[in-house]
A and B are shown apart, each in its own frame.
Chain A
């Protein structure tokens, strides 16, 4: 029915609708710089028309929905790329620190010390009777030892720092998960009654993105706008409530933490190995694989230097006629029992034949009354019945087993683990340095010093046939390319991220010019709607005037 009151009504609806649209515009303008904000728009729709003659007539306008302009696909990609970004970012940072440890460009480093050590040996060969040359060699050796120890300490410090970061990130993940669970509740409350929880969804998207930076997540949409989050191989992190991650000290990994999820069932699930991306993955990888790998190479280098120099040194004679002396403190293989061992086996290892040492890791395990010793690199192993006590020799090592190891007890044996940090001089008496190869009291005999100096050019089997210097160079090269790869990947990932952010901006970003235009547009419409009411009022007045005349 079309009458003047209808016009009143249309005017009123138009005022309301445009005022709402203006409110939406102002919210957009206000959030121009809010990260993660998606622009909103008031969806205007004409109200149901009234039937009339000669045809239907409109009844006005209403805002049917305040819609978030948003592309779920882009958002999902952005969230998942965030995981890669987080991982690469920590990798790049930590590898830059590792590089600083191996940076010989400034003239101080293992490489320089190694050259100076061998120079000192040459000088000794040039004047084997010289106490000054002998003292200088001891000093150079101390400096070499200190370079190794510094590099080792720095690597271990980086690992400790990474472990600390892992604990920090676990805390952040928990906080984010809790916030997401809270927002889930709020969104549910709003959307169950048919509202659009636009701003809350934006907030939650932001949190999901932040969470994804820490750990790779999967999200599943539930009813009423809920989102369920899983980590690792589908372990739930957020359902109707958030579960907590815990850093649990792992005795078999230097007390470093493993990541466990507490599902509130009284026990925790270790998800460390199933974390596939994000800062946590990067941190764990660096702490448990990459840096221990570099550390191992450093140890291996230190151990071969100790082993080769000692063997040659033992063959010679000092100024005081002594022979068979070590130059460095001899290698002391490490034996580490796993924390789950239950037996009372006492396992010891010593170097039996230095020429046979391979510097590979070994595993000694007990099962069914037998022991098995295995070289974990080559796979070579030997098994025999265990009798208390048993002494065997295996690839240059002598392994002493005693006590009562239980079935399944496992020990890890290494001849080089930690050597970079524990190298030491065997003697501080310069006269004991064995420059001579003939029996004592021959001050001019330098033939053993010559052989020691020539170790610099010797390919060492335990270093894959490389010389000490080459092996160190390869290590530096490997670290360099790991670091470079992380940098390049990060740069590439940032570009992907920027592109996605731009794409998101294209859809969801607030444009000030657009909003200003809208502002004017809705203001004009508002003004015209007001005018409509004035006109309707005048029309009514005219009719009322008709009666009085």
Chain B
């Protein structure tokens, strides 16, 4: 074969370039730690890498969802534990006070403790986590349970004119104590002035103040709100009559005794896997009001019933309340069991997802990453090869016949 000088140089150049090129590729792989640095490095592998990447991202998201749900449910669970404890104490008191040996004074004292228990229960029903009420159903921004009984009036047409002997009477019951108050005559163009006058009049009433009942009256947009200053099972304001009832908007309003539920029945789900929702909340109407529960009881009414029976020294009432409180205890316990089962399911899923994540990470790495030992050994092999080619090339292109002619 004839070999021309251009062929010689060309082939040396091509060889050197080819080897430098593969050295460059290996170096890129070693420095990035990745076998696939662009889609064409492995056109079937890259979509898999993307898919695994997406799977990892969603798995992380599901784990995050579980953590979030876990925290909500754990808070709900510990709150229900507290609720059970309080109900237990009410139960004990009821048993104790049903005994004929107790005096009315003992029962009145017990009533005070039960009133506190009632307040505790309302506070527990109103617990929130990160600004969301646990037991409000979907109404997570609305405080779910009323703790001061109140009455929300309908629109009062301003100005309101009170005329002595014509429309100045208002009969109302505050915390079960009924009295008729007489509003002073006057012309009220401002809702706040009206509210202030109604409040002053109620609180000046001797019957109510003797019984320790007082109220706060506010004007909200266009209507009056009369709120009892007391908490507990008997906290309520109910207008029952009087000539002023209509013009004050207190004839057809909404009566909300302490313990009234303001949330809804909404169940909130979270995804813990593709198309796998888990309910993470307990609506307050179900847990505390027994709505949707076969034989459900209103926890607050049960406790309020006990308080009332103790206050009125009604032994039969105490026994009736005892039955209700037992039912309430059972109801709360059942809800806790439901919650526990869901928590278990979440935890089991968490374990599965963590394992899954680990294996996906492994699969992804197998496709995407280089075997560093292999790559570095390839790299040095390639380096050696390149050096050899250079050495050979140096000799090959060094001499010609001219070197031997004189």
Contacts and interface: CB of A to CB of B under 8 A. Distances in A.
B159 interface: no
Interface in B1-56: 1-7, 10-11, 14, 34, 36-44, 46-51, 53-54
B271 A453 contact: yes
A446 B50 contact: no
A158 B199 CA distance: 77
B125 to A, nearest CB: 15
A454 B40 contact: no
A480 B268 contact: no
Instruction: Tell me whether chain A's interface is mostly helix, strand or loop, or mixed.
Output: helix
A510 B8 CA distance: 11
A33 interface: yes
Interface in A144-201: none
B39 to A, nearest CB: 3
A516 to B, nearest CB: 5
Given A473-B50, A477-B43, A510 B271 contact: no
Contacts of A502: 7, 10-11
A469 B51 contact: yes
Interface stretch (A122-130, A135-143, A385-393): A122-130
A115 interface: yes
B43 A118 contact: no
Interface stretch (A15-23, A52-60, A100-108): A100-108
A287 B264 CA distance: 59
B140 interface: yes
Contact of B36 (A105, A456, A478, A507): A105
Given A453-B271, A454-B274, A511 B54 contact: no
A513 interface: yes
A516 B138 contact: no
Contacts of B240: none
Interface string B104-139: 000000000000000000000000001110001111
Given A454-B271, A473-B51, A512-B402, A480 B43 contact: yes
Interface bracket on B:
35 or more
Contact of B269 (A95, A102, A446, A476): A446
B100 interface: no
Given A115-B53, A444-B137, A472-B50, A498 B6 contact: no
A122 B269 CA distance: 11
B387 interface: no
A470 to B, nearest CB: 7
A481 interface: yes
A505 B271 contact: no
Interface string B250-292: 0000000000000010101111001101000100000000000
Contact of A512 (B64, B69, B132, B401): B401
Given A129-B132, A473-B47, A119 B6 contact: no
Contacts of A520: 405
Interface string A231-269: 000000000000000000000000000000000000000
Interface string B54-69: 1001101100110011
Nearest to B269: A450
Interface in A484-538: 484, 487, 498, 501-502, 505-514, 516-517, 520
Contact of B2 (A115, A473, A478, A506): A506
B14 A498 contact: yes
A365 to B, nearest CB: 38
Contacts of A480: 38-43, 46-47
Contact of A115 (B4, B39, B42, B57): B57
Contacts of A442: 138-139, 264, 266
Interface string A336-347: 000000000000
A65 interface: no
Nearest to A107: B53
B132 A457 contact: no
Contact of A444 (B4, B53, B266, B368): B266
A328 B266 CA distance: 28
Contacts of A401: none
A119 B10 contact: no
B141 interface: yes
A123 B62 CA distance: 10
A329 interface: no
B403 to A, nearest CB: 10
B101 interface: no
B268 A446 contact: yes
Contacts of A95: 40
**Residue from B4, B11, B46, B140 whose CB has the most chain A CB atoms within 10 Å:** B4
Interface string A200-232: 000000000000000000000000000000000
B13 to A, nearest CB: 10
Most chain A Cβ neighbours within 10 Å, of B5, B36, B64, B139: B5
Contacts of B270: 125-126, 446, 450
B39 A111 contact: no
B400 interface: yes
A97 to B, nearest CB: 11
Given A115-B58, A480-B43, A509 B2 contact: yes
Interface string A424-459: 000000000000101000111111001001101100
B401 A436 contact: no
Interface in B337-381: 368
Contacts of A115: 53-54, 57-58
User: Which of B7, B60, B264 counts the most chain A CB atoms within 10 A?
Assistant: B7
B180 to A, nearest CB: 39
A32 interface: yes
Nearest to A442: B138
Contacts of B7: 501-502, 505-506, 509
Contact of B61 (A114, A119, A438, A509): A119
B39 A122 contact: no
Contacts of B47: 470, 473-474, 476-477, 480
B46 A477 contact: yes
Contacts of B275: 454, 457
A479 interface: yes
Contacts of A323: none
Given A476-B50, A506-B3, A506-B7, A444 B139 contact: yes
A111 B50 contact: yes
A169 to B, nearest CB: 24
A99 interface: yes
A127 B402 CA distance: 86
A502 B51 CA distance: 46
Contact of A476 (B46, B141, B266): B46
Contact of A479 (B39, B136, B402): B39
Given A442-B264, A442-B266, A509-B5, 17 more contacts: A95-B40, A105-B38, A122-B65, A122-B271, A438-B138, A443-B139, A444-B139, A444-B268, A445-B266, A456-B58, A473-B47, A473-B48, A479-B39, A484-B40, A514-B2, A516-B400, A520-B405
Q: List the 6 closest pairs (A to B, CB-CB), nearest first.
A: A509-B4, A480-B39, A444-B140, A480-B43, A481-B43, A473-B47
10 contacts: A126-B65, A126-B270, A444-B132, A444-B136, A446-B268, A470-B51, A476-B39, A478-B43, A512-B5, A513-B400
